[in-house]
Amino acid sequence: MIEARTLPRLFAGATNRPLSLEAHEEMFRPAGNVASLLDELDASGLVGRGGAAFPTTRKVQLLRNQRGHKYVVVNGMEGEPAAHKDNRLLSTNPHLVLDGAEMLATMIGASRIAICVARDNPTVVHHVEQAIHERARRNLRGPGIDLHTPPWRYVAGEESALVHWLDDNESLPQYRPDRPHILRIGRGPAMVDNAETCANVGLIGRYGAQWFRALGTHDHPGSVVVSVTGAVTRPNVLEVNLGTPISSLLASAGADPAPQAVLLGGYGGAWLRGDQINTPYCNEALAPLSLSVGAGVAAVLPRQACGIIEAHRVVRWMAHESARQCGPCAFGLPALAEDLLAVVRGGRDGVAAIARLQDRCNVIEGRGACRHPDGVVRFVRSSIDVFAADIDNHLRGAPCAGARSSQRYLTVPALEHEEDLIWE
Ligand code: SF4
């Protein structure tokens, strides 16, 4: 049996092939008492691993009180280009994710589970299909499981966009002024949880809350999966104890021990300065720095990189990825990208642009139907703050060598075939 105080937990038994149902049952103890599931989940303190860190029990309570034909939706879309954690989990331990989804379905009284994986990722789609077939061959009673494969894009993984897709094939976020809000497929209430959250429920349902809490911190218990990318020699998806110093998780991916900055949480996240990398990786330690674990990304920027050029690339791509159904996204995000470009080019236009950026951020924040523009604003503000020295250099026409190099560190898929900006 896997141990409470050691890792891996979520990746126990994982190889480069998915664990078969048989191997999965040998690796993990059978699920515990269904009647005590909700109490154990509550005592575990599990919060969602998709980015928002919403307490999973509160979601369950909200859905338990709803009537109708309910759904559990497993979000395996992995919209963040720098994140690979849900894909890795679904490709190694898919049955742990499906077990957790079934437990959630039991708790809220759902009769169907919809698992969503981007169609652009055929290997993961295939692994999940196989896992569903293995379970179907057992003829077990329980909720039916359907695989859905929406097209990949950044906002397609936003929970209301996912439900919108399941409801009428449109990957557009829905306007939700009063969050938390019950999402619906047809008239049926739907509970959306990402794959890592479901896998954690699968563990808590077997080993209980006390076991779960043997790792992590009081307010942020358990283990967490993080994709370490950027300037590292071994880009990796790691399962770590929440509260581990960030420096040690960077070291295990072969990062420079003295980076310029580390982007945490994904492209809607914020930068940790290079001199803060001994901060524990958990929300309670990161919150005073206005940071969070978010979508489980740590992207390393080395000292020789130009932070403001990297920021411009990300914002240009995030503007491109919006659903363009609200003003802040349709007009605000391209304007942020334009201003960042002016800063990169420097001179008088750059000075005017840097003054405008803060005002634009204030106008955009909180005005979108979903949180996509708020994430971009957070990223822009953090970039202006952390890369102040780079900005000064660009404005006075003397950027560092990183701006003159074509080497980039953050993955920005849509831009890979477009001309990148090199300061001249
Ligand atoms: S804020 Fe942007 S991404 Fe969100 S719904 Fe509006 S247009 Fe779409």
Q: Give the pLDDT score at 402.
A: 73
The verdict on pTM exceeding 0.85 is yes
In ligand 1, the atom with minimum distance to the C-alpha of 333 is: 2
Number of H helices, E strands in the chain: 17, 10
| Tokens matching residue 179 | 């969050």
CATH number at residue 317: 1.20.1440.230
Percent of all residues in the chain with a pLDDT value above 90, rounded to a whole number: 77
* C-alpha separations of 397 from 19, 109, 347 in Å: 55, 62, 7
Q: Count of domains in the chain?
A: 3
Assess whether pLDDT exceeds 90 at residue 105: yes
- Whether 297 and 312 share a structural domain: no
Average pLDDT over residues 86-94: 97
- Whether 287 and 317 share a structural domain: no
Cβ of residue 176 lying under 6 Å from some atom of ligand 1: no
Q: From ligand 1's centre to the CA of 317, what distance in Å?
A: 14
CATH number at residue 263: 3.10.20.600
Assess whether pLDDT exceeds 70 at residue 376: yes
> Helix (H, G, I), strand (E, B), or coil: what is residue 406?
coil
State the Cα–Cα distance between residues 193 and 56, nearest whole angstrom. 8
Cβ of residue 322 lying under 6 Å from some atom of ligand 1: yes
What phi and psi, each to the nearest 5 degrees, are found at residue 244?
-65, 140
Q: Give the pLDDT score at 369.
A: 84
- Whether 39 and 150 share a structural domain: yes
Cβ of residue 326 lying under 6 Å from some atom of ligand 1: yes
Instruction: Output the 3-class SS for 138-167.
Output: HCCCCCEEEEECCCCCHHHHCHHHHHHHHH
| Tokens matching residue 36 | 């005590």
- Whether 169 and 91 share a structural domain: yes
Band the pLDDT of 247: cuts 50, 70, 90: very high
Mutate which of 363, 370, 371, 378 for ligand 1? The one with the most ligand atoms within 8 Å of its CB, which is 370
Mutate which of 322, 363, 364, 367 for ligand 1? The one with the most ligand atoms within 8 Å of its CB, which is 322
Are the C-beta atoms of residues 119 and 125 closer than 8 Å to each other? yes
Which of 6-20, 121-135, 241-255, 398-412 has the lowest average pLDDT? 398-412
Q: Give the pLDDT score at 422.
A: 54
Single residue among 212, 235, 255 that ends a domain in this structure: 212
Single residue among 185, 212, 239 that ends a domain in this structure: 212
Assess whether pLDDT exceeds 70 at residue 349: yes
Cβ of residue 375 lying under 6 Å from some atom of ligand 1: no
| Tokens matching residue 37 | 């599931």
- Whether 179 and 261 share a structural domain: no
Q: Using one digit for the tens of pLDDT, what is the confidence trace for 17-37?
A: 999 999 999 999 888 887 899
Average pLDDT over residues 248-267: 95
Band the pLDDT of 397: cuts 50, 70, 90: confident
Average pLDDT value over all residues in the chain: 92
Q: From ligand 1's centre to the CA of 47, what distance in Å?
A: 25
Average pLDDT over residues 296-316: 95
Indicate the pairing of strand 188-194 with strand 70-76: parallel
State the Cα–Cα distance between residues 387 and 399, nearest whole angstrom. 12
Band the pLDDT of 414: cuts 50, 70, 90: low
Q: Using one digit for the tens of pLDDT, what is the confidence trace for 156-171?
A: 888 989 999 999 888 8
- Whether 331 and 399 share a structural domain: yes
Residue span of the structural domain in which 285 resides: 223-301
Cβ of residue 173 lying under 6 Å from some atom of ligand 1: yes
In ligand 1, the atom with minimum distance to the C-alpha of 373 is: 1
Q: Give the pLDDT score at 325.
A: 82
